[in-house]
């Protein structure tokens, strides 16, 4: 599952990079929780929670159905 998550994050990364940010995969737990770290401009952005839930989590759940939740660490 981790490889599928990495592939899906690769599809999201260009739009984050366009705004000066990035996402780093920290861990994929056996129960389907994906832990990520938002970096660059995304790390301190007030909209980062919306980016995380409405952007990253939505795409990951579509691409990798085993994903239950995405959380920032």
Tens digits of per-residue pLDDT, 25-63? 999 999 999 999 999 988 888 888 888 998 999 999 999
With contact defined as beta carbons under 8 Å apart, do 34 and 19 qualify?
Answer: no
Cβ within 8 Å of residue 62, ≥6 positions away: none
Neighbours of 27 (CB within 10 A): 12
Flag whether the pTM goes above 0.75: yes
> Residue 51 corresponds to which tokens in the numbers above?
């980016």
> Residue 56 corresponds to which tokens in the numbers above?
């990253």
Positive or negative: CA dihedral 34, 39, 42, 45: positive
> Residue 46 corresponds to which tokens in the numbers above?
């007030």
The class that CATH gives domain 2-72 is alpha beta
């Amino acid at each position: 599952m981790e490889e599928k998550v990495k592939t899906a994050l690769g599809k999201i990364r260009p739009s984050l990079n366009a705004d000066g940010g990035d996402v780093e995969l920290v861990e994929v737990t056996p129960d389907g929780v994906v832990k990520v770290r938002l970096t660059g401009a995304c790390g301190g952005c007030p909209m980062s929670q919306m980016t995380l839930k409405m952007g990253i989590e939505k795409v990951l759940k579509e691409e990798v159905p085993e994903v239950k939740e995405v959380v920032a660490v």
